[in-house]
A and B are shown apart, each in its own frame.
Chain A
Amino acid sequence: MTKRKTFKTAAYMKELMAKYYQEGKEAREKGIPVVWITAVAPVEIIYAAGLFPYYPENFGALAAARKVADKLSMAAEARGYAQDLCGYARCGIGDAYAEEHPVGEIVKPDLLFCCNTQCGSLSKWFEVASRFYNAPYFLLDSPQIGPEFDKLSKQYFLAQLKELISFLEEFTGKPFDYDRLKEVLRLSKEACRLWNEILDTAMLKPAPFGFFDASFHMAPIVTWRGTEEAVNYYRALKEEVDERIKEGITAIPEERYKVYFDHIPLWPKLRWFSDFFAEHHALVAVSQYTHSWAYSFDLDRPLESLAENYMGEFVNRCFDYRVQLKINFMKKYNCDGFVLFSNRSCKPNAFGLYDKRNIISKLTGLPGVVFEADMSDLRFFSESQVRAELEPFFEQLKSR
C-alpha cells in the first residue's frame, strides 16, 4: 500500500458528516420535517422552505463503503427486487425491510422529493419508499436534453418548480420565502465555486489532489450544499490544498500520467483503486461525476438558474454531449488516457460506454478502456478481472 499524508480536514469532514446524520435524527423531534432528496436536485428550495434534506443515496454509498451493500440488498432481493437494480436503491429498500442495520437505520421521510435528472431508478425507489413510509412524494421530471437546451423542457421544469413550491407551501402551511431562497443559493454557489477550484488543482503536475481525494471529500458538497457548513468546510479544504501545493505534497508519489475516470468510484474498493492507479504512477485527475456539484447559480434569476443547472447536468444530456464533455475534461486536465467504468448499478451511465470509448479514442488519439464491476456490490467485483482489464491500459500509457 502506498504511503500518503492524510488530509487534516478528513477529521473535520467526519465530524461534519456525523453532525449531518445527527441533525437528520433530531430534525423530526424539533418539528422539522425530513425530506428525502436526490443528489442532483434543487435542494436550495427545500432549505428555503425550512425543511431538512436527507440523501438516501448517501446512505447507499455509506453502506457500500462499509462493505455491507450485499447484506442490505438481500432483504430487498428476497422480495423480488433484482440484483441488477441500482445498488443504492437495493440498500435503501433492503434497509426498510432488514432486521439488522449495519450502518444504522435510514432516516425515515416525512416527504419525498426526487428529481429524475440522474436516472429512473431514483424515482422508482422513492415511489416504493413513499408507499412504504406512507409519506407524500413529489417527482420533478426532467426530460433528457440534447446538445442545446430546448425551450419546451425548460418551461416544463420551471412549471414544475412552481408546482413544487405550491406543494411545499401546502405541506408546511407557510408561504414560500423567496428571500431565503436567494440566500441559500448564494451559499450553494459559494460552496460549489470552492469545490470547483479544489477540483481544478488536479490540473497541476504533479497535482496535490485527485479524483480519489475528491470522492472522499465530496459528501459535504452533496449533503450540506446550500448551508454555511459546506462553505466553511470547502474553505478549510481549499486552504489545506493550497498549503500542500506550497509544501510540494502531491496526491500520488511520482505522478507520470493523468487519467480521466468515468464515473462513480467503487465505494468498497476506493482505497484499492487509488493504490492500484498510484502503483502505475497514474493520477486519476478528473471525472464528470465529481464535477456534477460544480454548479454556478445566477442569483438574479433563481428559478431559471436552478432549472439550467439541475436539468443541464451531464447525467441528463444526450450521448454526443456527454462524449464532448468527457473530451473537454480530458483536454482541460491534459489527460493521457481514460478509464470508463461500466457500473452494473447504473444503467444510465453505463449504457453507451462501449461506443463512447471508441469514439473518444478516435477523436483524441488517447488510449481508453472500459471495465466491468459494480459501485457498491462486491458480488460483482473481481480483482483479477479488473486487473486484467486495466493492465493493458497502463501498458499503453507507458508506451505513449
Chain B
Amino acid sequence: MLKCLLKRKRTHYYLQKGENQLDKAEIIGLFQKVAENPGWQARQWKEERKGKIIGFLLTDVPEELIHAAGFLPYGICGGQNRLDSAIAHLQNWACSYVRSSLALALERKLDFLDGLIIPQPCDTTRMVLGIWQHASPLPFLQNFRLPRQVNRPSAREYLIGELAQLKEQLEIYRGARISNEELRNSIKLYNNNRSLLRKLYLIHEQNPEILSTKVLYTLIKGSMLMPREKVNELLTKLLKALEGETSPSGNDHIRLIISGTILEPFELLDYLDEGGGVIVGDDLQNGFRYIEGDVKEDVDPLEALADRQLNRIPFAGYDLERNPRRFFLSKMAVQKKARGVIFLHLKHCEPENYDYYDNAQALEKAGIPSIRIETEFGITSLGQILTRIQAFLELLGGK
C-alpha cells in the first residue's frame, strides 16, 4: 500500500534530492509534511523572499487578490491544538474551527502572518475579527463581507464593490496599486491550480488505489499552505508520474460523497480508504468546493472574481430560499452513482445545522442513504466516529 511506502520514505525524501527530481511518493510526502507542519513552507518563503503573508479563514476569500499584491496567501486550516488558550476569548460553543484557529494565533503558531482576512459566512466569523484584533493584533486585519443573498442583482453589484474595497486595502498595505495584469496573472495561476487538483480528484475517483482519499485531500490542503507556483509545479509532476497508472481500478469501491463545511479530522479518511471507500464528490470548503469553478480570464477581473464566488457550490452560509444545496447533493449523488453520503459536520456550525434536516430529507427522497457525523478540531478519541463509519460502510455493502 502506498501508505506504508510513504511511512518508510517520509523522513529522508527531501534532504537527499532536489525538488526537481522528486518522484510520486516524494511529492505526496512533501504535501503530507506540509499538512502536518502547516507553517513550514510559509516560513521558508518569508525568509527567502522577505515578503508578507496574509492568512485567511476558509475559503471564500479571493486569494488571487492577495497574490496579485505580491503577498503569500495562507489558508488557516485549524489545528489539533488543545484550544485551551482560546477559552478566555471565545465560548466553547463556538465552532472548533474558529476556536482552534484563534488558539493557533494565541500560541504564536501563526507568528509568520502579517495579516488576516476573515470572510463572513456566519455569526461566528462575523464576531471573531474584533476578538482577534484585541487578542492577537496584526498589521493587516480585514473582514470580507460577502453578500448573504446571492440571487438578486444587488448582490453582484455589492460584491464587486466589496472586492474593490479589499483590493484597495491591499494596495494601501502594499504601497502600490495592483495592476490588471498582475491580477490576471494571479487568476491564471489559481485557475491552473484548480484545474490540476480537479484532474487529481478524477484520478482518485477512477482509481483510489493510486491516489487515496487521504492523499487527495492532503493535496488540496497543502495547496493552501505553500506558494502556489511551487504547488502547481509539484502537481504537474505528480500528474505526469501518475499518467502510466491511470487505468480505472478493477475493484468495486463504495462510492461516497462527503457533505459539510470543513473536513476534519483527516485520520478519518484512513478508515474510508481501508473500508474500500472512494470519494466521488463533496461540497467541502477545503474539498471540491475549493477547486470547482474557474475565474474567467477574458473579462474584468473583479467582475470575474465576483461571478465565481456567486456561482460556487451552494453553501449554507449564503441564503437561498429553496436551498439549492439539497438538490445539488442529490443530483451529484445520482450522477456520480454514489452509494451513500456522509454528512461531516463540525459541532456548533450553525449554518450547516440549519440545513441538515432538509438535505437529509432530499437524499432520502432520492433513495440515497446518509449518515451524520459530528466532529471537532482537537478531539482526542475517534473511536465512536470510526465505529459508526464502519457500520455505514458495511450497510452500503463494503467488504
Residues of A that sit less than 8 Å from B by CB: 79-82, 84-85, 89, 116, 119-121, 123-125, 127-128, 130-131, 136-137, 139, 141, 143-144, 152-153, 155-156, 159-160, 163, 318-320, 342, 344, 347-348, 350-352, 354-355, 359, 372
Query: Are A85 and B322 in contact, with the CB atoms below 8 A?
Result: no
Smallest distance from the beta carbon of B57 to chain A beta carbons, Å? 14
Q: Which of A80, A127, A344, A348 meets B123, CB within 8 Å?
A: A348
Query: Are B358 and A131 in contact, with the CB atoms below 8 A?
Result: yes
- Other 11 A-B pairs with CB < 8 A, given A347-B94, A351-B91: A80-B353, A81-B356, A123-B319, A124-B351, A128-B355, A320-B130, A344-B93, A347-B93, A347-B123, A347-B124, A351-B131
- For B316, list chain A residues within 8 Å (CB): 124
Tell me the complex Cα distance, A143–B143, Å: 10
- For B161, list chain A residues within 8 Å (CB): 152, 155-156
Tell me the complex Cα distance, A159–B147, Å: 13
Q: Could you mark each residue 324-354 of chain B with 1 if its beta carbon is under 8 Å from any beta carbon of chain A, else 0? A: 0000000000000000000000011011011
Query: Are A125 and B90 in contact, with the CB atoms below 8 A?
Result: no
Residues of B that sit less than 8 Å from A by CB: 88-91, 93-94, 120, 122-124, 126-131, 133-135, 143, 145, 147-149, 152-155, 157-158, 161-162, 165, 316-317, 319-323, 347-348, 350-351, 353-358, 360, 372
- For B93, list chain A residues within 8 Å (CB): 84, 344, 347
- For B123, list chain A residues within 8 Å (CB): 119-121, 347-348, 351
- By Cβ-Cβ distance, the 3 closest A-B pairs, closest first, are A319-B130, A124-B354, A351-B127
Tell me the complex Cα distance, A350–B124, Å: 10
- For A85, list chain B residues within 8 Å (CB): 350, 353-354
Query: Are A80 and B356 in contact, with the CB atoms below 8 A?
Result: yes
Query: Are B148 and A139 in contact, with the CB atoms below 8 A?
Result: yes
Q: Which of B94, B320, B321 meets A351, CB within 8 Å?
A: B94
- List the count of A-B residue pairs having beta carbons below 8 Å apart: 142
Query: Are B154 and A81 in contact, with the CB atoms below 8 A?
Result: no
Query: Are B321 and A136 in contact, with the CB atoms below 8 A?
Result: yes
Smallest distance from the beta carbon of A97 to chain B beta carbons, Å? 10
Smallest distance from the beta carbon of A190 to chain B beta carbons, Å? 31
Smallest distance from the beta carbon of B361 to chain A beta carbons, Å? 9
Tell me the complex Cα distance, A152–B159, Å: 10
Query: Are B165 and A152 in contact, with the CB atoms below 8 A?
Result: yes
- For A79, list chain B residues within 8 Å (CB): 357
Tell me the complex Cα distance, A88–B304, Å: 39
Specify the chain A residue showing the minimal Cβ separation from B94: A351
Specify the chain B residue showing the minimal Cβ separation from A143: B145
Tell me the complex Cα distance, A342–B321, Å: 31
Query: Are B148 and A160 in contact, with the CB atoms below 8 A?
Result: no
- For B353, list chain A residues within 8 Å (CB): 80-82, 85
Smallest distance from the beta carbon of B182 to chain A beta carbons, Å? 23
Smallest distance from the beta carbon of A167 to chain B beta carbons, Å? 9
Q: Which of A84, A120, A131, A137 meets B122, CB within 8 Å?
A: A120
- For B350, list chain A residues within 8 Å (CB): 85, 120-121, 124, 347
Q: List 30 A-B contacts (CB under 8 A).
A: A85-B354, A120-B122, A120-B123, A120-B317, A120-B351, A121-B350, A127-B319, A127-B320, A127-B321, A128-B355, A131-B321, A131-B322, A136-B321, A139-B319, A141-B147, A143-B120, A143-B158, A144-B143, A155-B161, A159-B153, A159-B154, A160-B149, A163-B152, A318-B130, A319-B133, A347-B127, A347-B350, A351-B127, A359-B134, A372-B91
Tell me the complex Cα distance, A311–B310, Å: 23
Specify the chain B residue showing the minimal Cβ separation from A114: B319
Q: A121-B123, A163-B154, A351-B127 are in contact. Are A141 and B354 (CB under 8 A)?
A: no
- For B153, list chain A residues within 8 Å (CB): 159, 163
Q: Which of A89, A128, A344, A355 meets B131, CB within 8 Å?
A: A355
Q: A84-B348, A347-B124 are in contact. Are A355 and B134 (CB under 8 A)?
A: yes
Query: Are A124 and B319 in contact, with the CB atoms below 8 A?
Result: yes
Q: Which of B91, B148, B165 meets A141, CB within 8 Å?
A: B148
Smallest distance from the beta carbon of A173 to chain B beta carbons, Å? 20
Q: A127-B319, A318-B129 are in contact. Are A144 and B145 (CB under 8 A)?
A: yes
Smallest distance from the beta carbon of A110 to chain B beta carbons, Å? 14
Tell me the complex Cα distance, A121–B124, Å: 11
Q: Which of A82, A127, A130, A354 meets B90, CB within 8 Å?
A: A354
- For B128, list chain A residues within 8 Å (CB): 351
Tell me the complex Cα distance, A116–B147, Å: 11
Tell me the complex Cα distance, A125–B348, Å: 16
Q: A352-B130, A354-B88 are in contact. Are A139 and B322 (CB under 8 A)?
A: no
Specify the chain B residue showing the minimal Cβ separation from A320: B130
- For A160, list chain B residues within 8 Å (CB): 149, 152, 154
Most buried by B among A120, A136, A153: A120
Q: Which of A123, A130, A144, A359 meets B120, CB within 8 Å?
A: A144
Specify the chain B residue showing the minimal Cβ separation from A151: B161
- For A320, list chain B residues within 8 Å (CB): 130, 133
Query: Are B319 and A355 in contact, with the CB atoms below 8 A?
Result: no
Query: Are B158 and A152 in contact, with the CB atoms below 8 A?
Result: yes
Query: Are B154 and A319 in contact, with the CB atoms below 8 A?
Result: no
- For B90, list chain A residues within 8 Å (CB): 351, 354
Tell me the complex Cα distance, A348–B145, Å: 15
Query: Are A141 and B149 in contact, with the CB atoms below 8 A?
Result: yes
Tell me the complex Cα distance, A89–B157, Å: 31
Tell me the complex Cα distance, A320–B143, Å: 14
Smallest distance from the beta carbon of A162 to chain B beta carbons, Å? 8
- For A152, list chain B residues within 8 Å (CB): 158, 161-162, 165
Most buried by B among A121, A163, A344, A347: A347
Tell me the complex Cα distance, A247–B162, Å: 56
Tell me the complex Cα distance, A44–B60, Å: 34
Tell me the complex Cα distance, A119–B321, Å: 17
Tell me the complex Cα distance, A225–B355, Å: 32
Tell me the complex Cα distance, A131–B355, Å: 11
- For B91, list chain A residues within 8 Å (CB): 342, 344, 350-351, 354, 372
Tell me the complex Cα distance, A319–B128, Å: 9
Smallest distance from the beta carbon of B346 to chain A beta carbons, Å? 11
Specify the chain A residue showing the minimal Cβ separation from B322: A131
Q: Which of B120, B135, B147, B354 meets A128, CB within 8 Å?
A: B354
